[in-house]
């Protein structure tokens, strides 16, 4: 088409109204909105667990000494820890934890060697992000076993007298965010994204194919309504539905599972809104690609499974192989899981949230572009 | 381009459309004048729907050019959509919206200035005002068809493209429908309507007959009939099917069709046909008479003469 028509707000609004009316009469969909979150919460809320390795860890080296090097090496050898960076101070350590770049920060105090040699039994501090207790639990459990080999290797000769009981030094583990290691604290917020992905993608996935199957698409195409008006207009009612689901899940999280609400509720809703929008564009894209409602459903599952398995909801993200993390990083659910857990459990502020916000926004814009590209303006 | 400046409401030349290796529309050219009711006839799958979709910009032709209300069918489909009312073959309004909601939605899509009055007026003239809040899916076929016409007329289009609008509609509703079409045509609205019904074909100002994607004849009903140069004899009596079989093998008889109590035998060779009919009827209790060749005779003739080129390399 060389004749370009401009986006018309009244036309767009007419599509929005139509979708609301149709939704109002679709009782099964309506039931799904309320029942699905509850059923899934009951199922997954109590069901998930595992034991990951190679978890990203940062170290803060207050001193460079054979002991600290040996201990870091021992951590690496244990296979539970993957030392990804060395940080200058405590503040940087907290930030890395809050943004989810690392799950552990090992802090070697400046006077560690000196105190060790004096026989004062000093401590190393390991700060752990315990939002996902399954991710960190095994690694933490492995720590005490790492002390003894270091002691045996380095405290020899004249220092051998330090090598006795009690151990020459120990490691204090400081669990942040979810100190009691309650799995539900991690799973329940994660479920929000899973439930939203499932309902949003499925419902919008059907939206355009339904018009095509019922023959009403031909009618829409014959009117002046523009593709962007149809697509975004169809999305709006589902945004409202998504927010209702968010509210149901938040209420359940708070009243049933007693998940702490550390961060701001506004941040939660804004993050959810962005995620809902990004997810809806996926649905609408699948809908313009699919020829029939059945195909749309199949495509939905094709999208839903990787989201479920690779986003860090089911299995700890840090424990996955590189290729799986790469795929996970392409999915908005991965970022939403970080956002929602960050806000609820860590009380993350806007700066900490940003690294997970922009990828979702980029994802949404790209998806919308694809959807518009594949929306058939003609019946060809 | 200003629509009123053009002579024809629809003017298309040599439209072609393939679906895969099927040549669905083959060099179709036709002109529909302003205020004309143009009948589009042809068997199922002959390319009527595809041709209509090409004309209103819903499909892009593989080749060919044309204008619809003066707008180019390839480049200016947005303007065409705004000024054309298209009624799809299959009912294509939303079953889960009420009658009023459907009309209101369409009115909004066309940015109608006084939407409420337009919709109210449409409901009243439809006689559906009292059932405006009923779900559309619950309507009978006839009412759905009336609603569809009202909906595609809502934005006061200058051209109506109606794809088998009366399929499955009872005779009374069909008659009302055609009276309405003639009223609209009298107001200067052009109508392109596809149909299977001969009585409807006879109500059109002009006709085009399409078979296997090719336009075989077009003009007034008389012109279409004359174009085939057929002579027809009617034979009245019993056991006509048997006679029909017999006649078909005889020289000069190109076609035999049984219409209820009469058998029509048609042929191009006038003398040979007459001879054959008289020979076949000889010694039997039959009444034979030459009659004017009707539209239906001609359509059946054209259909049997046009070759199926679907699936052939073209």
CA–CA separation, B123 and B130 (whole Å): 9
Pinpoint the residues of chain A covered by CATH 3.40.1710.10.
Answer: 55-176
pLDDT digits (tens, 9 = 90+) for A232-287: 888 888 898 899 989 988 888 888 888 888 888 898 999 999 999 999 989 888 88
**Contact present, A72 and A59 (Cβ < 8 Å):** yes
Q: What is the dihedral of CA B106, B109, B115, B121, to 10 degrees?
A: -20
Fold of B231-292: Alpha-Beta Plaits (3.30.70)
**CA proximity to A340, closest of A304, A312, A377, A371:** A312
Q: What is the mean pLDDT of residues A134-157?
A: 73
φ, ψ dihedrals at B281, nearest 5° = -85, -15
Pinpoint the residues of chain B covered by CATH 3.30.70.100.
Answer: 231-292
- Region at B66 (left for phi over 0; alpha for psi -120 to 50; beta for the rest): left
Q: What is the mean pLDDT of residues A164-169?
A: 62
**CA proximity to A337, closest of A282, A271, A283:** A271
**Which chain A residues contact residue B58 at CB under 8 A?**
218, 221-222, 378-379
**Which chain B residues contact residue A379 at CB under 8 A?**
53, 58-59
Report the run of H or E that residue B220 belongs to, with start and end. Answer: none
Ranges A91-100, A164-173, B11-20, most confident: B11-20
**Contact present, B38 and B55 (Cβ < 8 Å):** no
**Residue bearing the bigger pLDDT, A149 or A162:** A149
Q: Say how many residues make up chain B.
A: 314
pLDDT digits (tens, 9 = 90+) for B34-91: 999 999 998 888 889 999 999 888 888 999 999 999 899 888 888 888 899 999 988 8
Say if A27 is an interface residue toward chain B (CB within 8 Å): no
Q: Cβ of B91 and A8 within 8 Å?
A: no
Task: Please give the structure tokens belonging to residue A136.
Answer: 């960190």
pLDDT at A183: 66
Place of tokens 């027809």: B232
CATH 3.40.50.1820 applies to domain A55-176: no
Pinpoint the residues of chain B covered by CATH 3.40.50.300.
Answer: 3-225
pLDDT at B311: 40
Q: What is the DSSP string of B73-128?
A: TTT-HHHHHHHEEEE-SS--S-TTSBHHHHHHHHHHHTT-TTHHHHHHHHHHHHT-
pLDDT band at residue A361 using 50, 70 and 90 as cut-offs:
very high
- Chain A nearest C-alpha distance from B7 (Å): 23
pLDDT at A159: 62
pLDDT band at residue A215 using 50, 70 and 90 as cut-offs:
confident
Task: Please give the structure tokens belonging to residue A71.
Answer: 């201990």
**Which chain A residues contact residue B76 at CB under 8 A?**
2-3
Residues of chain B with pLDDT under 70: 1-5, 307-314
pLDDT at A3: 46
**CA proximity to A57, closest of A105, A118, A8:** A105
pLDDT at A51: 57
pLDDT at A180: 62
Q: Cβ of A18 and B111 within 8 Å?
A: no
How buried is B196 (Cβ within 10 angstroms: 0-12 exposed, 13-18 middle, 19+ buried)? middle
pLDDT band at residue A1 using 50, 70 and 90 as cut-offs:
very low
Q: What is the ipTM of this complex?
A: 0.76
| CATH code of the domain made up of B3-225 | 3.40.50.300
pLDDT at B1: 47
Q: Cβ of B60 and A378 within 8 Å?
A: yes
pLDDT higher than threshold 80 for residue A356 = yes
CA–CA separation, A220 and A234 (whole Å): 13
**CA proximity to A345, closest of A133, A76, A158:** A133
pLDDT digits (tens, 9 = 90+) for A16-59: 888 888 878 877 767 777 777 777 666 665 555 455 677 888 88
**Contact present, B40 and B31 (Cβ < 8 Å):** no
């Amino acid at each position: 088409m060389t004749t370009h028509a401009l986006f018309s707000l009244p036309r767009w609004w007419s599509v929005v109204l139509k979708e609301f009316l149709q939704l109002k009469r679709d009782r099964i969909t309506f039931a799904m909105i309320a029942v699905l979150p509850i059923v899934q919460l009951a199922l997954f809320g109590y069901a998930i667990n595992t034991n990951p390795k190679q978890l990203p860890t940062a170290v803060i080296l207050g001193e460079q000494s054979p002991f600290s090097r040996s201990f870091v090496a021992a951590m690496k050898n244990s296979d539970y820890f993957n030392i990804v960076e060395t940080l200058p101070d405590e503040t940087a350590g907290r930030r890395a934890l809050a943004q989810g770049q690392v799950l552990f920060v090992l802090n070697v105090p400046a006077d560690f060697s000196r105190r060790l040699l004096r026989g004062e039994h000093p401590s190393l501090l390991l700060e752990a992000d315990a939002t996902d207790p399954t991710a960190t639990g095994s690694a933490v459990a492995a720590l005490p076993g790492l002390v003894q080999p270091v002691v045996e290797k380095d405290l020899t000769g004249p220092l051998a007298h330090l090598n006795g009981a009690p151990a020459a030094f120990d490691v204090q583990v400081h669990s942040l965010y979810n100190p009691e290691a309650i799995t539900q604290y991690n799973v329940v917020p994660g479920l929000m994204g899973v439930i939203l992905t499932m309902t949003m993608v499925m419902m919008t996935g059907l939206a355009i194919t339904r018009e095509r199957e019922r023959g009403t698409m031909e009618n829409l195409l014959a009117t002046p309504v523009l593709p962007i008006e149809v697509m975004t207009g169809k999305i709006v009612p589902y945004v409202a539905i998504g927010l209702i689901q968010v509210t149901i899940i938040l209420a359940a999280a708070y009243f049933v599972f007693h998940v702490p609400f550390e961060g701001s509720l506004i941040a939660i809703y804004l993050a959810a809104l962005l995620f809902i929008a990004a997810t809806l564009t996926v649905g609408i894209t699948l809908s313009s690609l699919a020829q029939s409602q059945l195909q749309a459903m199949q495509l939905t599952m094709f999208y839903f499974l990787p989201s479920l398995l690779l986003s860090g909801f089911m299995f700890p993200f840090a424990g996955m192989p590189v290729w799986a993390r790469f795929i996970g990083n392409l999915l908005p659910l991965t970022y939403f899981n970080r956002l929602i857990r960050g806000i609820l459990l860590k009380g993350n502020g806007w700066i900490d949230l940003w690294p997970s916000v922009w990828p979702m926004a980029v994802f949404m814009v790209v998806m919308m572009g694809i959807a518009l590209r594949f929306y058939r303006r003609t019946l060809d | 381009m200003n629509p009123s400046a053009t002579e024809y409401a629809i003017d298309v030349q040599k439209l072609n459309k393939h679906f895969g290796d099927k040549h669905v529309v083959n060099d179709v050219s036709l002109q529909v004048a302003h205020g004309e009711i143009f009948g589009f006839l042809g068997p199922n799958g002959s390319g009527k729907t595809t041709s209509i979709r090409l004309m209103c910009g819903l499909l892009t032709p593989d080749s060919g050019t044309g204008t619809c209300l003066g707008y180019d069918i390839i480049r200016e489909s947005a303007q065409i959509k705004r000024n054309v009312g298209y009624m799809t073959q299959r009912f294509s309004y939303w079953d889960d919206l009420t009658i009023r909601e459907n009309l209101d939605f369409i009115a909004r899509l066309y940015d109608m200035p006084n939407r409420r009055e337009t919709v109210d007026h449409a409901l009243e003239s439809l006689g559906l005002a009292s059932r405006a809040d009923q779900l559309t899916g619950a309507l009978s076929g006839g009412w759905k068809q009336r609603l569809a016409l009202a909906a595609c007329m809502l934005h006061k289009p200058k051209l109506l493209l109606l794809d088998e609008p009366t399929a499955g509609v009872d005779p009374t509703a069909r008659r009302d429908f055609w009276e309405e079409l003639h009223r609209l045509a009298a107001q200067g609205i052009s109508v392109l309507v596809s149909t299977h019904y001969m009585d409807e074909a006879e109500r059109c100002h002009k006709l085009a007959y399409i078979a296997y994607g090719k336009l075989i004849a077009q003009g007034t009903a008389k012109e279409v009939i004359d174009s085939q140069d057929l002579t027809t004899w009617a034979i009245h009596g019993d056991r006509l099917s048997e006679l029909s079989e017999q006649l078909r093998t005889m020289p000069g008889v190109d076609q035999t069709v049984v219409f209820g109590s009469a058998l029509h035998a048609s042929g191009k060779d006038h003398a040979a046909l007459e001879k054959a009919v008289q020979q076949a009827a000889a010694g039997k209790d039959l009444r034979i008479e030459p009659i004017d060749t009707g539209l239906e005779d001609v359509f059946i003739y054209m259909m049997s003469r046009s070759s199926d080129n679907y699936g052939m390399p073209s």
